[in-house]
Amino acid sequence: MSDELRWLSTRELAARIAAKEISAREALEDHLERIDRINPAINAVVTRDDEAAQSRAAAADEALAAGAEIGPLHGVPMTHKDTHDTAGMRTTWGSPLMADRVPESDSLIISRLRSAGVNTTGKTNVPEFAAGSHTFNDLFGTTLNPYDTTKSASGSSGGVGAALAAGIQASGDGSDMGGSLRSPGSFNNVVGFRPSNGRIPHTLPGNPFAWLAQSGFMARTVSDVALLMSVASGPEPGGPGSIDEPGSVFDLPEFALGADFEPELNGVRVGFSPDLAGLLPLETEVAEVVAGTADVLAGLGAEVTDTIPDLSDADEVFAVQRALDFVTAWGPLHDAHRDRIKDSVVWNIELGLGLTGAEVASAARARARLFGEVERFFAGHDVLVLSTCQVLPFDASIEYPTEINGTPLETYLDWMRALCLISATGCPAISVPAGFSASGLPVGVQLVAKPGNDVGLLRMAHAFEAVTSHHLRHPQI
């Protein structure tokens, strides 16, 4: 059954289970068989619990046979990012320090997926403490790109991206501070969506006041991202940043199976610049592929101009807030086990520990200016379009690129600046497949909307996807 189910969307798989065309048991066994067959080549899935998943699949079939009310993802098997807590299944953050950590409760995003019927089957690989956009660690090794297994799958949701691209599953959860949903989306020819703060609220335990990092989803289609957002978003008690709209706002007719959908962007105002007017160094093939998307957008009826916002304050905002968040999350581990944490994580924590009050205040002022600039831009535009990644998938044996077109990069974050700058704005952003290099490596394009306009952003991305269909080009693995 594997060839029959491998490239189904999550919507299609859920519909077939609900219609009793296939059982939850059959869907699970097919999913596990693909992990057995494909995962050794890419190392995307790093934790499994087949026995518990089989018990849940049996229960799902029994509930359906008994006529019980079912959720929209009833019986759908899914692995989860190894930074999201899963009750009874280890969550390691890719760190040997947490190798045996088994949470007692689920993260909010996981609990909502399970309530919708998802059958948790395992965990996918991440960089140590989810730091950096290349998925490797001393605990599980390196995740490889299904389009070329000598290349990086990016990160930190790299295990999720590789699993989707390889046909292990159609969609999955992830998170994004400096591009960790969008970057692996680009590298693996799938969709990576970073929502607005509060769509999937931050809650205790953890930092409920966080805003830079966001939980979200990756999928092979925009429609599947909308489906997962419909079940996982919405306000939550104890989530002070919650957006007071239910997940049902993502349940739109054009995303449904068999929808009579005519893609168009008539009246949409686009600010377009692959390199943000020279702010970002780009590899030549990346620049060429993304530049070609302007004609696609115009062909859909959009008004495309080269007007873009001034993001000069975004570097300071991102650097300071990321450093502070690293101290909040990992400061105690750093104090106790500094010599057992990778150098880039130590650097980021110590950057936060060394910040002065004046530097934190300066970043607060910069964020206020950046907010004003974003408001000004989106008063006259619906979407900003730029490159997702500045480079093609790179050699998996290196930690990160150190130069782009001869321009040296100082830190492990510099090659992902196109993503970090957008994170600092607080805007929802999505990477959608945009094409391929001459050697067949994927390239994504990044679409950015005003904070809160998540639904509008998905609708625009859905139209782009419908007329390009790059997502249908699968790797030969």
pLDDT tens digits, residue range 116-156? 999 999 999 999 999 999 999 999 999 999 999 999 999 99
Total number of domains constituting the chain = 1
Residue 2 has what pLDDT?
Answer: 58
Residue 477 has what pLDDT?
Answer: 85
**For residue 227, is it within any domain?**
yes
CA 242 vs CA 197, 200, 234, 239, 249: distances in Å: 8, 7, 7, 5, 14
Per-position DSSP letters for 405-451, written without gaps between them: TTEE--STTGGGHHHHHHHHHT--EEEEEEEE-TTS-EEEEEEE--T
Strands (E), 179-324: 191-194, 214-219, 269-272, 303-305
Contact present, 102 and 116 (Cβ < 8 Å): no
State whether residue 307 is helix, strand or coil.
coil
Give the whole-angstrom CA distance, residue 149 versus residue 172.
21
**For residue 326, is it within any domain?**
no
Q: What is the pTM of this model?
A: 0.98
Share of the chain above pLDDT 70, in %: 100
User: How does pLDDT run across 406-416, given as a tens digit for each residue?
Assistant: 999 999 999 99
Q: Does an H or E element contain 464, and which?
A: helix 454-468
**Below-70 pLDDT ranges, the chain:** 1-2
**For residue 264, is it within any domain?**
yes
Residue 93 has what pLDDT?
Answer: 98
Q: Which residues are catalytic?
A: 81, 156, 180
**Largest Cα span, the chain:** 64
Q: Which of 320, 324, 297, 289 lies closest to 438 in space, CA to CA?
A: 289
Give the whole-angstrom CA distance, residue 40 versus residue 31.
14
| CATH at residue 188 | 3.90.1300.10
Q: Report how far Cα 192 is from the mean position of its chain's Cα atoms.
A: 4
**For residue 159, is it within any domain?**
yes
- Residue 406 region by backbone torsions, left for phi larger than 0, else alpha for psi between -120 and 50, else beta: left
**For residue 131, is it within any domain?**
yes
Q: Which of 292, 298, 289, 319 lies closest to 423 in space, CA to CA?
A: 319
**For residue 382, is it within any domain?**
yes
Residue 199 has what pLDDT?
Answer: 98
Give the whole-angstrom CA distance, residue 365 versus residue 360.
9
Q: Which of 448, 477, 17, 68 lies closest to 273 in space, CA to CA?
A: 448
Tokens of 59: 């229960």
**For residue 268, is it within any domain?**
yes
Which residue type occupies 84? H
**For residue 336, is it within any domain?**
no
Residue 4 has what pLDDT?
Answer: 79
- Structural domain containing residue 149: 1-316+344-472
